[in-house]
Amino acid sequence: MLQKLPTVGALSLALLCGPLPALGDTPLGLPPVPIPADNPQTPAKIELGDRLFNDVRFSADGKVSCATCHDPSKAFTDNKPVSEGFKGLRGTRNAPTVINAAYMETQFWDGREPSLEAQSLQPPINPVEGGLENHDPILKTIRNDPQYVQAFREVFQVSPDEITMDHVAKAIASFERTRIAGNSPFDRWYFGGEEDAMTEAQIRGFQVFVGQGRCVSCHQVEQTQALFTDNRFHNIGVGFKNIQGRVAGIAEQFLQAKAEGADVDKTVLTDPDASELGRFAVSEDMTDVAAFKTPTLRNIELTAPYMHDGSQETLEDMVEFYNNGGRVNPDDPVSPFLSGGIRPLDLSDQQKEDLIAFLKALTSPSVAAATKSAANNAQ
C-alpha cells in the first residue's frame, strides 16, 4: 500500500482564471513544469499566448478558437463526446483538457505530436476544426493587428514581416504551460499530511484504486508527485468494436494513403475508421491498433464525457466499463488487441461507489471554482 508522504517544493496554487500564476509556482502534488530550452517563459509571452488562444479570427468562419474546444469555464474541455469546429462540423475525438497538458510527453490521443508547440499548429488547418487551408490567414491577421505587432516585437524582437507560425506556436504553448492545477483533496491528504482532507469513502476508494482496481498501473502516483498518467498508449477496448473484423483492411488503406502523403492529423479526425486505429496511425505497429494515450485523472469529475470518443457519459459508466474488463456489457466480445491487465475487476457496488468518490477527490479547488462561477454567470 502506498504511504502518505510529506510534500516537497513550492505549494502555491496556480490559478486557472483571472491573473496568470507567478512563473515557477508549482501546485501541491505536481512536479515543476518542464520548459523547453528554446522557449523560455516570460510574462509578456504568456499574455500573448492567452490572447492567441482565444482569438476566433484564426478559423475559416471566424467563430472557432482554441478556447472553443478547450473552454476555461469547462475545465478546458467542451463537455461534448467529440468536438465541433468550423461550421459545426464534428470530429472523431473527445477534447482532452489543457490543464496539466504541459506534463504530457506527447500530444493528442494518439501522441502524433511531440510538444505543445507542435500540437497548436494543427487545429486551425484541420477541415473539421479551424477549417483553414493553411496558416497564411493567421499570419495576415496578426501582421495587420497593431496590438499583435507590438506584442510580437516585444516578445520575439521581430518586425511584422518576420512573424512566423513558430512564434505563434511558442506563445500559445507558453500560455498553456501555465494551465496547471493540483492542491486537490487527495494532494492535501497524500502529500500534505492533512488527515481530514479526504472522506472515509474517498480513502477507501484510494485503496481500490491502488489495489483490486489496479487503476494505478496506468494512472500513476509517485512518492512526491502524481500526474495520474504513465504517458503510454493502451488498448482498453474503447471503440474497437466499430472496426472489429476489418482491422487489416483499414490499416492497409491507411498506410497506403499515408505513404502517398495523406495528412495523419486530418485523416484521423475525419475518418471514423482511421480514428479507431489509435497509436497505430503514428507507430505503424499492429500491436498499437486501437491503443490510446492514458489521460490524466485530475479534475475528471468536471471533464465528462470520457474516453477518446466520449463514449462513456459518466464516472459511473467509466468505472463499470473497466469493471467489465474493457467492455460495455460483460457479454461483449473481447478485443484481440486488448492490452494486458485489462480484465474484469469483480468490484462490489460499495467498492465502485468508493472509487468514484476518490476520483472526485482529484478536483482542484481553482478548477471547481472557475466552473461554478461560469455556471452561475450563465444563469
Give pLDDT tens digits for 109-120.
Answer: 999 999 999 999
The yes-or-no verdict on residue 377 having pLDDT over 80 is no
Cell numbers linked to 126: 484541420
Question: How high is the pLDDT of residue 6?
Answer: 28
207 is written with which cell numbers? Answer: 485503496
What mean pLDDT value characterizes the chain?
A: 92
Q: Is residue 233 within a helix (H) or strand (E), and if so which, with residue range?
A: strand 233-234
Q: What pLDDT is stored for residue 378 in this prediction?
A: 64
**Residue 238 in grid coordinates:** 474503447
Report, in this order, helix, strand and coil percent for the chain, each rounded to 5. 40, 5, 55
Look-up: residue for cell 479507431? Answer: 276
Region 120-149: mean pLDDT is 98
The whole-number pLDDT of residue 329 equals 84
The residue type of 167 is: H
Determine the straight-line distance between the first and last CA of the chain, rounded to whole angstroms: 45
* pLDDT tens digits along 51-90: 999 999 999 999 999 999 999 999 999 999 999 999 999 9
Letter for the amino acid at 154?
A: E
Q: Is residue 14 over pLDDT 90?
A: no
Q: Which of 283, 226, 295, 237 has the alpha carbon at shortest distance from 30?
A: 226
Task: Indicate if the alpha-carbon torsion angle 345, 350, 356, 357 is positive or negative.
Answer: negative
335 to 242, 245, 273, 340, 342: CA distances (angstroms): 11, 10, 16, 11, 10
Decide if pLDDT at 19 tops 60.
Answer: no
Decide: 358 and 228 in contact? Cβ < 8 Å: no
7-20 average pLDDT score: 32
What is the SS3 assignment for 306? strand
Specify the amino acid at residue 128.
V
Q: How confident is residue 23, by pLDDT bands cut at 50, 70 and 90?
A: low
pLDDT of residue 334: 80
CA–CA distance, 57 with 61 (Å, rounded to integer): 8
Which position has the higher pLDDT, 337 or 345? 345
pLDDT at 7: 28
pLDDT tens track for 309-336: 999 999 999 999 999 999 888 888 787 8
All domains of the chain in start order, with CATH = 43-176 (1.10.760.10), 185-236+294-378 (1.10.760.10), 240-289 (no CATH)
Cα 311-81-360 angle, rounded to 5 deg = 75
pLDDT for residue 379: 56
The type of residue at 2 is: L
CA Rg, the chain, in Å?
21
User: What number is the average pLDDT over the span 141-157?
Assistant: 98
How many whole angstroms separate alpha carbon 270 and alpha carbon 82? Answer: 12
**Is 167 assigned to a binding site?**
no
Continuous H helices in the chain:
43-53, 66-69, 116-120, 136-143, 146-156, 165-176, 185-190, 200-210, 247-259, 264-270, 272-275, 280-283, 315-323, 349-360, 365-378
Question: d(Cα 124, Cα 302) in Å, to the nearest integer?
Answer: 26
- Among 10-14, 102-106, 200-204, the range scoring the smallest mean pLDDT is 10-14
**CA triplet 14, 19, 52: central angle to 5 degrees?**
100
Q: Please, are residues 302 and 369 in contact by the beta-carbon 8 Å criterion?
A: no
Which residues, 6 or more positions from 211, have their beta carbon under 8 angstroms from its beta carbon?
1
pLDDT tens-place string over residues 222-274: 999 999 999 999 999 998 778 888 999 999 999 999 999 999 999 999 999 99
pLDDT digits (tens, 9 = 90+) for 194-212: 999 999 999 999 999 999 9
Residue with cell 500564476: 21
Residue 365 has pLDDT above 50, yes or no: yes
Q: What percent of the chain has pLDDT over 90?
A: 85
pLDDT score of 1 more than 70: no
Say if residue 66 carries a ligand binding annotation: yes
The sign of the torsion formed by the CA atoms of 330, 336, 337, 339 equals positive
Asked whether the predicted pLDDT for residue 12 surpasses 50, the reply is no
Q: Is 17 annotated as a binding residue?
A: no
Q: What SS3 class is residue 366? A: helix
